[in-house]
A and B are shown apart, each in its own frame.
Chain A
Amino acid sequence: MNIKVLFLSLLLSFPSILLSQKQDTTDLFKRAFKHKSKKYIKESNFQKAQSFYLEKNWDSTLVYSMKQLNIPTNDFEFKNYCHYLRGYSFYRKSLYKEAQEEFSNITNKFNFYETVKKHLGKIALKNKEYEKAIKHFVEYQKNASSKLIISDKGSVEHNIGVCYLQLKKFDKAEYYFIESSKIKERSKDTLKLISSYGEIANLYYNQYKDDLAIPYFQKAYELSKKTNDFNSKRRTARNMAVVEENRKNYKLSIVYRKEFEKWKDSLNDQDKIWEVAELEKEFAVKQKQNEVNKLEAENKLKVAERNKLLYSAIGLLLLLVTGGYFYREKIKSNKIIVAQKATLDELNATKDKLFSIVSHDLRSSVNALKTSNTKLQESLETKNFTELDTQLNTNSAITNGAYNLLDNLLNWALLQTEQGYFEITSMRVFVIVEHVAYNYKPLLLDKNISFENTVTKKDFIDADQESLKIILRNLLDNAIKFSTENGSIKVYSQSTNNNFYELVIEDTGLGMSESTRLELLKETALLSKKENEDIIGTGLGMQLVKQMIQKNSGKFNIESELGKGTKMIVSLPKTAS
C-alpha cells in the first residue's frame, strides 16, 4: 500500500524531471545546431523549417521540412538535419511513434547523433520500453562523454536510474541515482536534488532498506523547506508522513500529514487561483475578442466610409476635369464668336458705308440726268440742234458711269454670296483685252486718248474669263477717268516671273500720292474720302479688282507718280505649256 503511494508520487515527478533538464540543454544545443547547419541555409524550405524550429512552432517546422525532403538530394547529412527537425518536432508534439521513425532514419554519421540517441532513449522511456531506453542512454553517454554538459549528464543518469528502478534492478538504479544526485549536488540544483533524493529514498524504501531510505527522505524534506515549490514541499511532507506512519510514529506522521494537507491546500488554492485567473483570463480574452470584433466592425465601417469618400472624391475630380474641359471649350468658342462678331460688325459697317456712298452716287447721277434731260427738252423746243449733240453725249456718259457702278455692285454682291459662275480656263490675254477695250473706244475717242494693246497674241493665262473682264473693265475705266485729254493708255505685258504673267495697264494721267497708293493696296479699304468730287469714286471698283485677282490666285500692285501717271500691274498664273 505504502509502496504504491510512493510509486505514484514517483511517477508524478517524472515530467518535472524531464522538463527541467531541457531548459539548460536546449539553448546550448540549438545554438550548436544552428551553427552546424549553416551551410544549408540557402535552401529556403530548410531555412524556414529551421527558423520555425527555433521559434518552437512545431507544425510549421514539420510542413517545411517535409517540403525540403520532397526535393530529391543525395546529401545524407542534409537529410539527417531534416529528419532531426521532424523527429524533434514530433517528439515535442508527443507523437512518439512518428518521432521514433524519423530519428531512426538518421544515419550514425550525423553530427548530433548522440542527441538523437538521447531523444530515442527518452521516447523509449515514455513508451515504457526500459531496456531499450537504457541502451540508448548508455550509447549517448558513451558518444557524448566529452561534450557532455553536467546537468545533462545528471538528467541522463537520472533517467537510466529510473529505467533500472522500473526493471527492479535496484543496485544499478541506486548507482545511477547516487551518481545523478552527486552531479546535482555539485550543480546546486535544489529542485532536481530534491527529486533525486526522493528517487534514492524510494529506491531504498522499495527494497525495505528503511535505514538507508529515511535519511534521504529527510534530506529531501529539509531541502524542500528552502524552496518555494509547493509540489516538492507537499511530496516530501507526504513521504515523511508515510515513513513516520510506517515507523508507527503516528504523532510525527500526523504532523507531516497536516503539513502535507497544508501544502496540498495551498496547492489547491493555487490551483483555484489559477482557475480563477484562467477564467478571468478567458473573460478578458473574450472581452478583448469583443473589443477586437468591435474594432474590426468599426474598421470595416471606416474602410467603407473611406472608400465612399475616395470614390466620391474621384467622381468630383472627374466632374471638375470635364467641367474644366467644357468651360475651356466654351471660352474658346466664345472667343471665336467674339472675333467673328467683330469682323461681322466691321463688315456690316463697311456695307452700310458702301450703301450710303453708292446711293449717293446714283442719286447724283440720276439727278444729273434729270437736269440734263430738262436742258435737252429746252434745246429741242428752241431747235438748238448744235447743243443737242453735246447734251446727248453728256447723258450717255452719265448713264455709262451709273451703269458701271451698278455692274460693280452686282458683281460685288455675287462675289460676296459666291453665287457667280467661276471657272478657270486657259485664254489669250490679247483677245480679252481687246474685247474689254472695245467698249471704251467712244470714250477714248471723246477724250482724245490714244490706246495701245501691245500684248502678244500668243500669251495664255489661266483665269476665269468673266472676272478677268471685270478686272480689266475697272482698271481701264480708272485709267480713262484719271487721264487728261490727249493722254495715252498702254496695255502690255512685262515678264519678270516664270510662273506669273504680269499685265500692265499704264496711263499718263493724274497719278496718286504714296498714301493713296498704300491705302488702295490695303486688304479691305473702301476709299470713301472724296478728295476730288468728280473723279474719285466709291472704291468699290478697286475692291472688286483686288478680290477678283485674289480669287484667280493672282497678285496686284500699283506703281504711280503724282502728275505723271499710274501703272496697274495684274499678275496671273501663266498657262503651263
Chain B
Amino acid sequence: MDNINVLIIEDTKAESDALVKVLNTNNYNIIGIATSYKDALDLFYNNKIDIVVIDIFLNGNPDGITFAETINVVPDASRPFVFLTSSTDRKIFERAKLTQPFSFLMKPFNELEILYAMEMAVEKFYAQNDVFLSDEEDTVISKDYMFIKKGKSLKKVLLNDIIYIDVEEKYCNIITEKEKFVILISLTKILDLLDNVMFCRTHRNFIVNTEKIQEIVPADNLILLAGGHKATLSDTYKTIIKKIRTLK
C-alpha cells in the first residue's frame, strides 16, 4: 500500500505549515505546496497527484477556483479537489460548485475535518458515496487504484500490482507481490468496478489478474500465478481458458 500524494495550493505559510503537519501525521505524502496559480499548474503536471487541497483565495484572488476550472477542462487530468475557504461568500461557492464534484472546508478546521474532507473528495470524485464512513465498506476503486481507508487516513494500491483477490464473505484478501491485506467491499461491487478484461473470476471466491497468470492446470483446477501464488479454477468459470489463449 502506498501513501496518497497530495498537492497543497495555499499562499499563507502558517496555514500550509499546519496543513502539512496534520497530513504528514496521517501518512499523506505532500508532493508540494504551490503558492500561486502558475506554481500549482507546474507541480500538478510534473507529479502524480491523487488529491489537491486548494485554498480558494490566492493573494486575494479566487485563483484556486481558476486552477480547478483549468484542470477540469483537460480530459482525464482532473483529480479530487478539497477547497479551503474562510469566506462564506455565496458567489464564490456557486462558482466552486460548477467544478463538481467538489468538497469544501471552512477555515478554521481541525484534524478530523480535513481528513473527512479528503475522504469526501475521493468518494464524490469517483462517484462511490458513503464508503469510508460506513462499517460495510472501506475501499473506493478508480481506474488505476484502490483507495483504502486505513485507520484515520487513506492508502492506495495500484491495480496492476494485485495478483489475485480472495473473497471471504464481505471481506476481500488482496494479494500483491509484496504484501497481503484485507479490505471491506462486497463481491458484486468489486466485480462491477474492476476492469473485467484485466480481472477475471475463476472461482466463487477468486478474482485473478490475468496478467499475473503463469500457468493454468485444468486437470487439477489450478492456476499458477506470479510470485508462486495459486488460485482455484472451478468448472463454472473454465471459459477463462479460451479468453486467455486468444489473448496470448
Q: Name the interface residues of B60-105: CB closer than 8 Å to any CB of A.
A: 88-90, 93
User: B133 interface residue, CB < 8 Å from A?
Assistant: yes
Q: What is the bound-complex CA distance between A104 and B13, given in angstroms?
A: 137
Measured between beta carbons, the chain B residues less than 8 angstroms from A414 are 88
Least CB distance, A406 to chain B, in whole angstroms: 12
Measured between beta carbons, the chain B residues less than 8 angstroms from A428 are 133
Q: What is the bound-complex CA distance between A439 and B93, given in angstroms?
A: 25
User: B110 interface residue, CB < 8 Å from A?
Assistant: yes
Q: Name the interface residues of B116-147: CB closer than 8 Å to any CB of A.
A: 116, 133-135
User: A530 interface residue, CB < 8 Å from B?
Assistant: no
Q: Residue A421 contacts which of B89, B116, B134 (CB distance < 8 angstroms)?
A: B89
User: B198 interface residue, CB < 8 Å from A?
Assistant: no
> Which of under 10, 10 to 19, 20 to 34, or 35 or more describes the interface residues of A?
10 to 19
Docked-complex contact A457 and B135, CB < 8 angstroms:
yes
Interface segment, one of A14-22, A430-438, A532-540: A430-438
Q: Give A454-493 as 1s and 0s: 1 = Cβ < 8 Å from B's Cβ atoms.
A: 0001000000001001000000000000000000000000
Docked-complex contact B112 and A434, CB < 8 angstroms:
yes
Query: Which chain B residue has the least Cβ–Cβ distance from A460?
Result: B130
Measured between beta carbons, the chain A residues less than 8 angstroms from B112 are 434-435, 438
Docked-complex contact B89 and A435, CB < 8 angstroms:
no
Docked-complex contact A438 and B111, CB < 8 angstroms:
yes
> Which of under 10, 10 to 19, 20 to 34, or 35 or more describes the interface residues of B?
10 to 19
Docked-complex contact B110 and A439, CB < 8 angstroms:
yes
Q: What is the bound-complex CA distance between A466 and B93, given in angstroms?
A: 13
Query: Which chain A residue has the least Cβ–Cβ distance from B110?
Result: A438
Assuming the contacts A431-B133, A435-B116, A457-B135, asked whether A420 and B88 have C-beta atoms less than 8 A apart, the reply is yes
User: B113 interface residue, CB < 8 Å from A?
Assistant: yes
Q: Name the interface residues of A142-177: CB closer than 8 Å to any CB of B.
A: none
User: A419 interface residue, CB < 8 Å from B?
Assistant: yes
User: B18 interface residue, CB < 8 Å from A?
Assistant: no
User: B106 interface residue, CB < 8 Å from A?
Assistant: yes
Query: Which chain B residue has the least Cβ–Cβ distance from A422?
Result: B90
Q: Name the interface residues of A387-425: CB closer than 8 Å to any CB of B.
A: 414, 419-421
Query: Which chain A residue has the least Cβ–Cβ distance from B117?
Result: A435
Assuming the contacts A419-B90, A421-B88, asked whether A435 and B110 have C-beta atoms less than 8 A apart, the reply is yes
Least CB distance, B14 to chain A, in whole angstroms: 16
Measured between beta carbons, the chain A residues less than 8 angstroms from B90 are 419-421
Query: Which chain B residue has the least Cβ–Cβ distance from A470?
Result: B106
Assuming the contacts A431-B133, A435-B116, asked whether A466 and B111 have C-beta atoms less than 8 A apart, the reply is no
Assuming the contacts A431-B133, A457-B133, asked whether A466 and B88 have C-beta atoms less than 8 A apart, the reply is yes
B-side residues, CB < 8 A to A, are 88-90, 93, 106, 110-113, 116, 133-135
> Nearest 3 pairs between A and B by C-beta?
A421-B93, A420-B88, A438-B112
Beyond known contacts A421-B90, A469-B106: 4 more, CB 8 A cutoff: A420-B88, A431-B116, A431-B133, A435-B113
